[in-house]
């Protein structure tokens, strides 16, 4: 039997209402991603990328359709169970990093582990490991404002990886970076991805990223393009 996908979305629809005004952000989107894959969701601004990532990570609910994470439906799950799954299974890298300005790099990374009930020592060891992985050793006591955009993105990635998630969702990870930093971040993501186990979904409008990924979903005005996924 074929391995069950890590994540599967069936006929996802998301409609936003602002008073009488209706926006169809996602229109009948299907996708399937297997363990260890790196999928790029590519589309112009407003095509529904962020909406889709938020649904896939269980941060929001679809208007209709189903999302299965490891075969378990999360699209109708109550918030209590969902927040536990999010913390232990999903890592999210937000478009603007969402680092806590008053906390150091070390504390920012430890925060999600604290919610998981890790001990001081476990958090310290794991943070050191992560800082090594993302190339930020020596920066543990800095605050986000003292870091470059590329470094802040590395902290956000380290934080997303802290609880060893099986799925990492990244929203425009190179959106605020110049070309050299974009390439360095993608190299980092690719190497983590190649090490195995972690599945990445990256929303982007950067063609260079798309060219590097084997799995792609093209979105346009909330709809997946007809040849909606490609694997070479």
Please report, as residue ranges, which positions from 88 to 147 form the binding site for ligand ADP (by CB under 6 A). none
Size of residue set near ligand ADP by CB under 6 A: 12
Residue 18 site contact among Mg ion, ligand ADP, none (CB < 5 to 8 Å, cut-off depends on kind) = ligand ADP
CB of 62 to ligand ADP, least distance (A): 13
How do beta strands 38-42 and 199-204 pair? parallel
How do beta strands 38-42 and 215-220 pair? parallel
Residue 126 site contact among Mg ion, ligand ADP, none (CB < 5 to 8 Å, cut-off depends on kind) = none
Alpha-carbon distance 129 to 1, whole Å?
A: 36
DSSP 146: G
> Whose Cβ is closer to ligand ADP: residue 65's or residue 139's?
65
Residue 7 CA, chain-centre distance (Å), reads: 13
DSSP 68: E
143 close to 103: Cβ distance less than 8 angstroms? yes
> Whose Cβ is closer to ligand ADP: residue 25's or residue 31's?
25
> Whose Cβ is closer to ligand ADP: residue 3's or residue 17's?
17
59 close to 91: Cβ distance less than 8 angstroms? no
Strands of the 21-33 sheet, one edge to the other: 21-33, 7-18, 64-69, 72-73
22 lines the binding site for ligand ADP (CB under 6 A): no
What is the contact mask toward ligand ADP in residues 34 to 53, using x (rule: CB under 6 A)?
---------x-xxxxxxx--
What is the contact mask toward ligand ADP in residues 2 to 21, using x (rule: CB under 6 A)?
--------------x-x---
Residue 48 site contact among ligand ADP, Mg ion, none (CB < 5 to 8 Å, cut-off depends on kind) = ligand ADP
> Whose Cβ is closer to ligand ADP: residue 24's or residue 111's?
24
> Whose Cβ is closer to ligand ADP: residue 94's or residue 103's?
94
Alpha-carbon distance 94 to 98, whole Å?
A: 6
Alpha-carbon distance 57 to 217, whole Å?
A: 17
Residue 226 site contact among ligand ADP, Mg ion, none (CB < 5 to 8 Å, cut-off depends on kind) = none
47 close to 41: Cβ distance less than 8 angstroms? no
37 close to 190: Cβ distance less than 8 angstroms? no
CB of 41 to ligand ADP, least distance (A): 8
CB of 171 to ligand ADP, least distance (A): 7
Binding site for ligand ADP (CB under 6 A): 16, 18, 23, 25, 43, 45-51
């Amino acid at each position: 039997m074929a391995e069950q996908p890590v994540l599967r979305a069936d006929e996802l629809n998301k409609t936003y209402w602002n008073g009488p005004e209706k926006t169809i952000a996602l229109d009948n989107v299907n996708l399937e991603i297997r363990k260890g894959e790196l999928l790029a969701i590519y589309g112009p601004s407003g095509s529904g990328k962020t909406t889709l990532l938020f649904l896939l990570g269980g941060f929001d609910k679809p208007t209709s359709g189903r999302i299965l994470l490891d075969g378990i439906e999360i699209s109708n799950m109550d918030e209590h169970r969902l927040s536990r799954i999010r913390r232990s299974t999903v890592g999210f890298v937000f478009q603007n990093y969402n680092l806590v300005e008053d906390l150091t790099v070390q504390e920012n990374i430890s925060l999600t582990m604290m919610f998981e009930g890790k001990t001081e020592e476990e958090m310290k060891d794991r943070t050191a490991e992560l800082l090594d992985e993302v190339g930020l050793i020596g920066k543990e006591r800095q605050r986000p404002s003292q870091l470059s955009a590329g470094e802040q993105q590395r902290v956000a990635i380290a934080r997303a990886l802290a609880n060893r998630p099986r799925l990492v969702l990244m929203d425009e990870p190179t959106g605020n970076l110049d070309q050299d930093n974009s390439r360095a971040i993608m190299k980092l993501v690719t190497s983590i991805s190649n090490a195995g186990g972690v599945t990445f979904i990256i929303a982007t409008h950067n063609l260079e990223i798309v060219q590097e990924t084997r799995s792609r979903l093209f979105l346009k005005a909330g709809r997946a393009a007809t040849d909606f996924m490609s694997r070479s």
